[in-house]
């Protein structure tokens, strides 16, 4: 099966330093299958036009394709309605939309609390700090244990009636922990708090059902789900999106404009000022079709077997410490080797053809929690193979012997 999958990714068939490329930086961005590349190309060869207000043939065709893509994404998330799916440029953009509009809504007051966790990416920290600065609210942080799992022993003092929003990731990009979000959402809802799930690392690896989760917002990025960069999704519950004010001003998000006054468009257009990434949305729908055809369970099972193999083999390396040993993990193995700087390790194994990420992974507070500046992180996608895990492990062994 793996050859059939790999043959759909032209970029993987190249040599780096006279060795086959081993691409293990999938949590940062994944490679794109032919089905997605062809969807982008077909769009530009046969459809390209600006959408929504054009009466001509191509404009209507592009509008239909754009709105069908929205419907497809709604189905992927099991969203109750397509107008709850907002096209953004990515997870960061989606979270900033919610943070900025919540701040402007007047619903967050001095003394209110926003709850996040130690595991968050900077994208799910900084926008809330900005909101706090504007409103006088304060951040509370769910701590973690040494395995990289939420420590919920003090949750009753962290999540209270004063909490207005809980914003957490579903899967940690730095450690791979799959967080028990459903229980937290349920508890938050019972206390009247809104809930936002950063799904940047879950949408690529597992089936998502926003209705079953019960959250108010779910965000993800196209480029991590086999689609191009520059496209992402904010799903929001209608009642909540309707309660929030508009964000960016411009074309498309208006109903009527005079020099004195503007009235705003309905969802989803209220949050889609300007010409959107039309091709990106269509390619994202193609990527979700591609993932569904392969089967989300098949993807998850294959990635899990690579994760188990990598975890066991890496632990055999002298002086290697794993960061993130949660019982429930997805697709990421993060580690450090005693006496070896992660940049040196990453640079040396790159020379052996193995591409991994090193550093803080946009999670500086998490690194501070472990008292380190960064890790080396290998992250897996469905096209990775067991042989590639062996190449990773051998490269890490060799490099660590050279560097220690």
Active site residues: 362
Strand partners of residue 217: 196, 236
Rounded to the nearest angstrom, the gap between the alpha carbon of residue 287 and the centroid of all alpha carbons in its chain is: 15
Residue 17's contacts (CB-CB under 8 Å, 6 or more residues apart) are 351, 352, 353
Of the residues 96, 117, 123, 195, which one makes contact with ligand PLP according to CB under 6 A: 123
Q: Which of the stretches 10-18, 86-94, 133-141, 204-212 binds ligand PLP when contact is defined by CB under 6 A? A: 86-94
Of 181 and 200, nearer to ligand PLP (C-beta) is 200
CA–CA dist 92, 69 (Å, integer): 21
Of the residues 25, 149, 198, 279, which one makes contact with ligand PLP according to CB under 6 A: 198
CA–CA dist 297, 291 (Å, integer): 10
Q: Which of the stretches 36-44, 120-128, 290-298, 380-388 binds ligand PLP when contact is defined by CB under 6 A? A: 120-128
Cβ 84 vs Cβ 241: under 8 Å? yes
CA–CA dist 138, 142 (Å, integer): 13
CB 124 → ligand PLP: shortest distance, Å? 6
CB 261 → ligand PLP: shortest distance, Å? 34
Of 119 and 137, nearer to ligand PLP (C-beta) is 119
Residue nearest to ligand PLP (CB): 173
CB 90 → ligand PLP: shortest distance, Å? 3
Binding status of residue 377 toward ligand PLP by CB under 6 A = no
Of the residues 63, 96, 101, 169, which one makes contact with ligand PLP according to CB under 6 A: 169
Rounded to the nearest angstrom, the gap between the alpha carbon of residue 358 and the centroid of all alpha carbons in its chain is: 18
CA–CA dist 135, 132 (Å, integer): 5
Closest CA relative to residue 164, chosen from 184, 130, 189, 182 = 189
The upper half-sphere exposure of residue 89, i.e. CA atoms within 13 Å in the direction of its Cβ, equals 8
CA–CA dist 389, 149 (Å, integer): 25
CB 200 → ligand PLP: shortest distance, Å? 3
Which residues inside 203-222 make contact with ligand PLP, applying CB under 6 A? 221
CA–CA dist 354, 373 (Å, integer): 22
Q: Which of the stretches 72-80, 110-118, 196-204, 376-384 binds ligand PLP when contact is defined by CB under 6 A? A: 196-204
CA–CA dist 67, 278 (Å, integer): 10
Of the residues 32, 66, 70, 121, which one makes contact with ligand PLP according to CB under 6 A: 121
CB 123 → ligand PLP: shortest distance, Å? 4
Record the tokens describing residue 30, joined without a space: 């994944």
CB 224 → ligand PLP: shortest distance, Å? 6
Residue 86's contacts (CB-CB under 8 Å, 6 or more residues apart) are 94, 97, 233, 234, 235, 236, 241, 267, 268, 271, 272
- Residues in the interface with ligand PLP (CB under 6 A) total 12
Q: Which of the stretches 8-16, 17-25, 118-126, 385-393 binds ligand PLP when contact is defined by CB under 6 A? A: 118-126
Of 123 and 375, nearer to ligand PLP (C-beta) is 123
Binding status of residue 90 toward ligand PLP by CB under 6 A = yes
Binding status of residue 201 toward ligand PLP by CB under 6 A = yes
CA–CA dist 215, 188 (Å, integer): 9
Binding site for ligand PLP (CB under 6 A): 90-92, 121, 123-124, 169, 173, 198, 200-201, 221
């Amino acid at each position: 099966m793996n050859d059939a999958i790999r043959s759909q990714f032209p970029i993987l068939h190249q040599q780096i330093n006279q060795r086959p490329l081993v691409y293990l930086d999938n949590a940062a961005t994944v490679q794109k299958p032919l089905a997605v590349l062809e969807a982008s190309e077909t769009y530009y060869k046969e459809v390209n036009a600006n959408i929504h207000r054009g009466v001509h043939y191509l404009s209507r065709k592009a509008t239909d394709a754009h709105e069908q893509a929205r419907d497809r994404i709604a189905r992927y998330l099991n969203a109750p309605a397509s107008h709850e799916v907002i096209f953004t440029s990515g997870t960061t953009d989606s979270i900033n939309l919610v943070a900025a509009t919540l701040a402007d809504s007047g619903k967050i007051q001095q003394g209110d609390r926003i709850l996040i966790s130690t595991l968050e990416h900077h994208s799910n920290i900084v926008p809330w700090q900005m909101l706090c600065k504007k409103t006088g609210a304060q951040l509370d942080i769910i701590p973690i244990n040494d395995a990289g799992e939420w420590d919920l022993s003090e949750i009753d003092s962290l999540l209270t009636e004063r909490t207005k929003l809980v914003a957490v990731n579903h899967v940690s990009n730095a450690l791979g922990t799959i967080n028990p979000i459903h229980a937290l959402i349920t508890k938050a809802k019972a206390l009247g708090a809104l809930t936002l799930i950063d799904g940047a690392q879950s949408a690529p690896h597992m089936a998502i059902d926003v209705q079953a989760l019960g959250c108010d917002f779910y965000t993800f990025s196209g480029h991590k789900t086999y689609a191009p960069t520059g496209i992402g999704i904010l799903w929001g519950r209608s009642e909540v999106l309707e309660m929030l004010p508009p964000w960016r001003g411009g074309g498309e998000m208006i109903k009527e404009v005079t020099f004195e006054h503007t009235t705003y468009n309905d969802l989803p257009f209220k949050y889609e000022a300007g010409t959107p990434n039309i091709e990106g949305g269509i390619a994202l729908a193609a990527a979700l079709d591609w993932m569904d055809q392969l089967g989300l369970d098949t993807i998850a099972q294959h990635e899990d077997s690579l994760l188990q193999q990598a975890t066991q083999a890496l632990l055999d390396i002298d002086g290697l410490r794993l960061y993130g040993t949660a019982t429930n993990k997805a697709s990421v193995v993060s580690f450090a080797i005693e006496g070896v700087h992660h940049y040196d390790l990453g640079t040396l194994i790159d020379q052996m053809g193995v591409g991994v990420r090193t550093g803080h992974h946009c999670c500086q507070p998490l690194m501070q929690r472990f008292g380190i500046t960064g890790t080396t992180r290998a992250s897996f996608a469905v096209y990775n193979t067991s042989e590639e895990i062996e190449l990773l492990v051998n490269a890490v062994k060799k490099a660590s012997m050279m560097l220690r």
